[in-house]
C-alpha cells in the first residue's frame, strides 16, 4: 500500500478510524476526513507524518470537491477512496418522520453519491485506475426492523455500487462495498440504547442478542471490517468489482 494515497470519510470514529489506521500501518498516505475535524486530527496524529486531517461533511458537494483537491495537493493524487461516513436513527416505521428519512438518506446515500462522483472525476483527471470501497451494511442485504429508513438508504448504496462498477470498469476503476454486521462502535452504543428503550429491555440484553445472532459468537470489531477494506483496495482483489462483501461473522450468508 506504500504507493497508495487513501481518502476515508467518517474516519474520526469506529470503522473509518480503524480503516485509516490499517492503511497507515500498510505505509499508505492517508487523508483522514470527518465532519468532526478534531476527531480526524487525532486519528491523523496517531498515524503520523504520512497522514493529514480534513474537516468534511459528505453532504456538501463543494466541500467534497475541495477536500479531494486539498488532500491531493498535500499527499499526492488520491488512488483509493473509502466512502464510509454514515448515520442511523431508530424508530418503528409508523413513527418515522420525513426528517428521519432525509437525515439517513442525505448522509448514507447522497454522501456516497457525492464522494464516489468526486473520486471518479479525480481518477479520470489523473488517469488513475483507482479503487472505491463503500460502507453499506448487513441492513443493505436484509431488511432491519426499527431501521427501515436506514435499511432503504443502505440498499441504495448497493444499487449505486453495482451500477457505478459497470459504468467505470472500462476505465480500470473498481467499485465494491463492505456489509458489516454488529460492529462495536459509537454508532452501536447509540443503537443499543435506542433499541433497549423501544423493546423495553436493557442495552446489555440487546448486545447479547446481537452475539446470539452471530455464528462466530462475538461482536464484530472495526478492525474485522478494516482488514477487508484494505484487501478490496489491494491488487489481491484486482478481479473483484460491483460486490457487496458480507463481513458479519456469518449473520448473513448469501
Ligand atoms: N456499527 C455497526 O454495527 C455498523 C454496521 C453496518 C454498517 N455500519 C456503517 O459503517 C459506517 C461507519 O459506522 P460506525 O459504526 O463506525 O459509526 P460511528 O458513528 O461510530 O462513526 C461514524 C463517523 O461518521 C462521521 N459522520 C457523521 N455524519 C457525517 C457527515 N455528514 N460527513 C462526514 N462524516 C460524518 C461521524 O462524525 C463519525 O466519526 C456507517 O456507514 C455505518 O452505517 C455500521
Out of 3.40.50.720, 1.10.10.60, 3.40.1110.10, 3.30.230.10, which CATH number does the structure's domain 5-183+221-247 have? 3.40.50.720
Q: Report whether residue 24 contacts ligand 1, using a CB cutoff of 6 Å.
A: no
CB 246 within 8 A of CB 138: yes
pLDDT on residue 227: 98
pLDDT in tens, 133-170: 999 999 999 999 999 999 999 999 999 999 999 999 99
Helix/strand/coil percent split, the chain, to 5: 55, 15, 30
Distance 170 CA to ligand 1 centre (A): 31
Cell numbers for 159: 444499487
Check whether 2 has a pLDDT greater than 90. no
Cell numbers of 152, please? Answer: 432503504
Domain ranges of the chain: 5-183+221-247
How far, in Å, is the centroid of ligand 1 from the Cα of 127?
30
d(CA 156, CA 105): 9
Average pLDDT, the chain: 98
248 lines ligand 1 (CB under 6 A): no
Q: Determine if ligand 1 sits within 6 Å of the CB of residue 10.
A: yes
Ligand 1 neighbourhood includes 185 CB (under 6 angstroms): yes
Of the candidates 126, 107, 111, the residue with the CA atom closest to the CA atom of residue 5: 126
Residues with a known catalytic role: 150
Instruction: List the residue whose alpha carbon is closest to atom 2 of ligand 1.
Output: 183
Q: Which atom of ligand 1 is nearest to the CA of 10?
A: 24
pLDDT of residue 76: 97
Integer Cα distance of 233 and 196 in angstroms: 37
Ligand 1, atom 31: closest residue by C-alpha: 57
Please give the Cα distance from 183 to 112 (Å, whole number). Answer: 20
What is the residue-wise DSSP string for 222-241?
HHHHHHHHHHHHSGGGTT--
CA 99–ligand 1 middle distance (angstroms): 18
pLDDT in tens, 77-135: 999 999 999 999 999 999 999 999 999 999 999 999 999 999 999 999 999 999 999 99
Determine the distance separating the centroid of ligand 1 and the alpha carbon of 87, expressed in angstroms.
Answer: 5
35 C-beta closer than 6 A to ligand 1: yes
Amino acid at each position: 500500500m506504500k504507493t497508495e494515497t487513501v481518502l476515508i470519510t467518517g474516519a474520526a470514529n469506529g470503522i473509518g478510524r480503524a480503516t485509516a489506521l490499517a492503511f497507515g500501518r500498510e505505509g499508505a498516505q492517508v487523508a483522514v476526513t470527518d465532519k468532526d475535524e478534531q476527531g480526524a486530527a487525532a486519528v491523523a496524529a496517531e498515524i503520523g507524518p504520512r497522514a493529514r486531517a480534513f474537516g468534511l461533511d459528505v453532504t456538501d458537494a463543494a466541500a467534497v470537491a475541495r477536500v479531494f483537491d486539498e488532500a491531493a495537493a498535500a499527499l499526492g493524487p488520491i488512488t483509493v477512496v473509502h466512502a464510509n461516513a454514515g448515520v442511523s436513527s431508530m424508530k418503528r416505521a409508523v413513527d418515522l418522520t420525513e426528517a428521519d428519512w432525509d437525515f439517513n438518506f442525505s448522509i448514507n446515500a447522497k454522501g456516497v453519491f457525492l464522494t464516489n462522483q468526486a473520486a471518479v472525476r479525480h481518477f479520470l483527471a489523473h488517469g488513475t485506475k483507482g479503487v472505491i470501497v463503500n460502507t453499506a451494511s448487513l441492513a443493505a442485504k436484509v431488511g432491519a426492523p426499527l431501521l427501515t429508513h436506514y435499511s432503504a438508504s443502505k440498499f441504495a448504496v448497493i444499487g449505486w455500487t453495482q451500477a457505478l462498477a459497470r459504468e467505470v470498469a472500462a476505465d480500470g476503476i473498481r467499485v465494491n462495498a463492505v456489509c458489516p454486521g454488529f460492529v462495536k462502535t459509537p454508532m452501536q452504543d447509540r443503537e443499543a440504547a435506542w433499541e433497549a428503550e423501544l423493546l423495553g429491555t436493557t442495552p446489555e440484553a440487546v448486545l447479547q442478542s446481537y452475539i446470539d445472532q452471530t455464528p462466530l459468537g462475538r461482536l464484530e470489531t472495526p478492525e474485522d471490517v478494516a482488514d477487508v477494506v484494505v484487501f478490496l483496495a489491494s491488487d489481491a482483489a484486482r478481479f473483484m468489482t460491483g460486490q457487496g462483501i458480507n463481513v458479519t461473522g456469518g449473520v448473513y450468508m448469501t
